[in-house]
Structure 1
């Protein structure tokens, strides 16, 4: 009897993530996953339960990584909370305008979620809430420092920044350039203090 093939689940999930990032859940095929992971269809089913279950496993890991990255970006103590958010948004404009950057599974899931009560929608909502929680923590610090008014709706602003950054990611995927994404980032930041005028050096040069 042939011995069952051994594999490292984390490696399979990582390879599958690349497939899902390129094609999304709906368009990715089992043949795509077989080629990427080196496992047969039956082995994939036996180990993960199917394509959707494998996507959810990959999405969970992507969600944790996304939250960790944002937390690190907003966690520097050498700048004020609002300066950290501004810097984070500008770095996202650079990152998302890169031609070789893949779309995160968190954003893929957001696009493909139907909003119905199913595992994909539940996982997508959890991802939004997790990211919003990271932004909310930084915004709470800003309010405690007096940089935001006492009546600022921190939870709403946190979800707003999730929406802005996920939207920037999709715009970058569609080919929108760094100049435009930078302008979006700066305009989004101005919502925090209601500014309607630009500070010197804020406005990037017009895209060519």
Structure 2
């Protein structure tokens, strides 16, 4: 009978994710992961198959969390679909401008992705498409409300907002401040006519 594991996989993945976010996949060593997780090298191999496999597990967790967060931000409520998108984009701009803000693991993976047909690129692309799908649903609600023209290219608009969010995340990481990121967010919303000149939301 196999011995029961003496660790919680979710905790190990969370600890490893913190290392990967800071260092990226390429620069993270097994010794880094050993220090962060408290597991020995052999235990890491036995449980996850190696550094890359552990990164992919952490990336999958990050992807699921990102999808839940965007879905909750854009879910039905008293605000109109365009108002929900507007509030979401502005809140993200403010979050990314904070001094303690760090890029997500999904954005780290996007930066490190080679575009080749490997598992990392496949998972990264799937995560982007999942987020775009959530934006598309909200934009479909806006079109049904008459807030967008019937011929609006919703998949393109959805991917546009994924790109805006990811871009603001990287700009914030580079030290771009709140005023500049808020301006980027407001300008991005002009494509929807979503009251882009209104006062930005507060954190």
| Normalised-by-shorter TM-score class | over 0.9
Q: Is the 8 A contact 2:82 2:194 kept in 1?
A: no
> Partners of 1:132 and 1:72 in 2: how far apart?
14
Whether the 8 Å CA contact 2:186–2:197 is kept in 1: the answer is no
Tell me, yes or no, if structure 1 residue 98 matches structure 2 residue 98: yes
**Aligned equivalents of 1:170 and 1:133: distance in 2?**
22
The two structures have a TM-score, normalised by structure 1, of 0.91
What is the distance in 1 between the residues matched to 2:102 and 2:192? 29
What is residue 199 of structure 1 aligned with on the other side?
197
Pairwise CA RMSD of aligned residues? 1.6
Write the distance in 1 (CA, Å) between the matches of 2:44 and 2:198. 55
Distance 1:73 1:194, change over 3 A: closer
Residues 129-164 of structure 1, C-alpha deviations (whole Å, 9 max, x = no match): 011011001000000100000000000000010000
**What SS does the corresponding residue of 1:149 show, helix, strand or coil?**
coil
State the Cα distance separating 1:103 from its structure 2 match: 1.1
Aligned to 1:170: 170
The yes-or-no answer on 1:80 pairing with 2:91 is: no
In structure 2, what is the Cα distance between the partners aligned to 1:69 and 1:130?
A: 12
The alignment's TM-score, normalised by the length of structure 2, stands at 0.93
Q: How does 1:44-123 map to 2 (within 5 A)?
A: 44-123=44-123
In the alignment, structure 1 residue 181 sits paired with structure 2 residue 202: no
Deviation at 1:201, TM superposition (A): 3.9
Give the SS at the match of 1:134: helix
**For residue 140 of structure 2, what is the aligned residue in structure 1?**
140
What residue in structure 1 maps to residue 36 of structure 2?
Answer: 36
Aligned length: 198
- Sort the Cα spacing of 1:173 and 1:74 in 2 relative to 1 into closer, same or farther, 3 A: same
Question: Runs of 4+ in structure 1 displaced over 6 angstroms?
Answer: none
Unaligned runs of 5+ in 1: 203-208
Measure how far apart 1:102 and its partner are. 2.0
1:125 paired residue number:
125
Unmatched 5+ residue regions in structure 2? none
Structure 1 residues 63 and 170, CA gap change in structure 2 (3 angstroms): same
Are the equivalent residues in 1 in contact too, given 2:86–2:194 (CA < 8 A)?
no
Q: CA deviation at 1:5?
A: 6.0
- Structure 1 distance, partners of 2:146, 2:61, is 35
User: Aligned partners of 2:63 and 2:185: how far apart in 1?
Assistant: 22
